[in-house]
Amino acid sequence: MAERLEPWGEGDLPLLEKLLGDPAMMEHLGGPESPAQLAERQKRYERLAESGIGRCFKIIDGSTDEAVGSVYEIGWSVLPPFQGRGIAARGTGLAIKVARSERKHRFLHAFPSVDNAPSNAICRKLGFTLIEETEFEYPKGSFMRCNDWRFDLFAAHNDAR
C-alpha cells in the first residue's frame, strides 16, 4: 500500500477527533482529549507550518485518497481499522525524509510509553537508537514511563523506510 503525507489542514478536525478523542487510541497518551482541547489542538496544527516550530502531517492512503492517520514531531497515530498494516512505520519514514531534507535539526526524538509495544517496534524498525528509559509529563500533570528513542538525521547510515 502506498501512502503519502499532506500538511494538516483546516478541514481536519473530524480526523483529529477520531485519533485523539478516542479512549482506545489514547490508552498510552493520558486518555482522550476533550472537545475544547481538540478544537484548540486543531488551531495549533493549522498554524504550525507557518510558525516554523514544527510540522503536522496526515497520512493519506494512496489507493483511496482517504486520510487514515497522522505523523507529527514525532509521534504517530493510525485509525484502528487501518492498524497492523505498516502504515505508521511507513508514514513516520516519510516524515523522517522531510525532516532530513530540511537539515534544520540533527536529532529527532520519540517518547513512546514503555508499554506501547507497536510504537517501540516502529522506532526499532526505523533505526532509532534507544537512549534511556525516562519519566515524561504528558499530558500536563500526568507522568508516564517512556523510552527516549533518538534518530540521527545527519547520519549517512540511517535509511528510514
Ligand X SMILES: CC(C)(COP(=O)(O)OP(=O)(O)OC[C@H]1O[C@@H](n2cnc3c(N)ncnc32)[C@H](O)[C@@H]1OP(=O)(O)O)[C@@H](O)C(=O)NCCC(=O)NCCS
Q: Which residues contact ligand X (rule: CB under 6 A)?
A: 25, 28-29, 75-78, 83-89, 112, 116-119, 121-122, 125
Phi (first) and psi of residue 6, to 5 degrees: -130, 150
- CB of residue 50 vs ligand X: minimum separation in angstroms? 25
Distance between CA atoms of residues 36 and 28, nearest Å:
20
- CB of residue 105 vs ligand X: minimum separation in angstroms? 19
How many alpha carbons fall within 13 Å on the CB side of residue 158?
A: 22
- State whether residue 101 is helix, strand or coil: helix
Task: Indicate the residue among 13 and 21 with the shorter CB distance to ligand X.
Answer: 21
Q: What nine digits make up the cell of 133?
A: 528509559
Phi (first) and psi of residue 120, to 5 degrees: -65, -35
Task: Indicate the residue among 28 and 48 with the shorter CB distance to ligand X.
Answer: 28
Task: Indicate the residue among 126 and 153 with the shorter CB distance to ligand X.
Answer: 126
- CB of residue 42 vs ligand X: minimum separation in angstroms? 17
- CB of residue 119 vs ligand X: minimum separation in angstroms? 4
Distance between CA atoms of residues 136 and 139, nearest Å:
9
Task: Indicate the residue among 15 and 29 with the shorter CB distance to ligand X.
Answer: 29
